[in-house]
Structure 1
Amino acid sequence: MKYVLAGSSGFLGKSLARDLLADGHQVVRLVRRAPSQPSEVRWDPAKGQLDPAALDGADVLINVAGANIGRPWTPTYKKTIRESRVSTTSTLAAAAAQMERPPVFLTQSGTGGYGRDCGDQILTEETPLGEGFLSDVVRLWEGAADPAREAGCRVATLRTGFVLDSAAPSFQLLSLPFRLGVGGRLGSGKQFFPVVSLTDWLRAVRHAAENDQVSGPVNVVLPNPVRNSQFTKDLAAALHRPAFIPIPAIALTTALGEFAWELIGSKRALPTTLQSTGFTFTHPTSPEALASALTR
């Protein structure tokens, strides 16, 4: 199959391109600089510029572009987070709408869309989006794919939790205190903490691309939700480190501002769409996902 990939310079994009190429697929990377090889196509999502003719013959368009959310959200950086997701998705969707043969259209999204703290509520793809900055971003992000939907593309939005892999920036941030011997639960530890192994994220992307039954929101998270207290115990055990120094919620909100709610807010998300369309997880539990992350 021919895949067109936006966001190929980031961790997930690089991992996905490598995985697809290893399986014999063709990957066209969208880049914002002058192309350096035939497999690259230049675009300018900030200006909405992408020539649909350059995507000719593509079976799947995938957008995993977006500014890193793992830093304090100043008003200026909030704008960067929002625009980096919405402009890339809308530009790609507009190009998809002009293609002679409608491709499958996939875009990354996030479980943060369900709200800052959802307690023990079970979150499926049917659960309405919540309130707050990330919820608003997810509404705009997923809505930016509307031109592709209206043109007849099958569209899936991948609401992903923290992807676990030793090279993932988010996992490096989470695991650093444990590697230093000062790890522990975040806040109360009672919050459900949505995570997934990189292996299963890659497989979920392929499943969404290839399975005609998959459309709309798709939760990409462990099928066995884990609370942060248990996750931190599992992480400490995997690293052979202690986990006895909890980090108070107030310390996280003081240091990280609103982003802290991605760590201390509860999101008990379930991968209902994936499982109902025949997807099985290679790493369905926290210990298995962590073992995979540390051995890749």
Structure 2
Amino acid sequence: MSIPAFGLGTFRLKDQVVIDSVRNALALGYRVIDTAQIYGNEAEVGQAIAESGVPRDQLFITTKIWVDNFSADKLVPSLKDSLAKLRTDHVDLTLIHWPSPKGAVPVQEFMSALADAKAQGLTRQIGVSNFTIDLMQQAIAVVGADAIATNQVELHPYLQNRKVAEFADQHGIHLTSYMTLAYGKVLKDPVIEQIAARHNATTAQVALAWAMQLGHAVIPSSTRPENLASNLKAVDLRLSNDDMAQIATLDRGERLTSPASIAPAWD
């Protein structure tokens, strides 16, 4: 299996807001939904999916294990709880959401437990999120690079994460970009505005297309149906080599997500 290039993120969306977002996205043709235990919205995502009428085999559902559930005795039970909330007997992808704070649970322990979840049929694929090169190396040592479907990381024109991307590519590990629009910051970037004007596209479409052309998956979120529909058009936008080169110059190492309690020593 591969990681779909385009999906819907649900970070920070709660209650009826997330139900409406997922329902509207599915109606527009989205088939990839990304959630997480810590988002506190798995049950609402599951409700929206159930009410959509879209057959389960047409969907690609991702969830992420929170740091409190990394130990060998907690990971699989927590995933089973997530499946109950999502109203499904399996997810398509399960990620370790963040590295274990201060290494409290060894990589060996949680990656082995995650591999066990896959062996039990609870998840089709497994992967990691917010992992540095060192942490990816440790995960590879436990389960092998072939078993790691993706590393989901903050990646946008202002933080292009090239060292991590290069290492992942060398080992056949796909990258999923989150916050591809940098909390909306890139939407008003003059360079991206000029590229968007040339293509008669939106700046959001340009940023999303840029990440996908680099080979990454994207999971933008939106609560507005018109933005959901517009973002989806990024799949068909092709940027020129010159466009890509211009966006490459925007990298300034601007990291927007780095919670002190769990963030690793970034590359």
Global fold match (TM > 0.5)? no
TM-score (norm 1): 0.32
Which of structures 1 and 2 has the bigger CA Rg?
A: 1
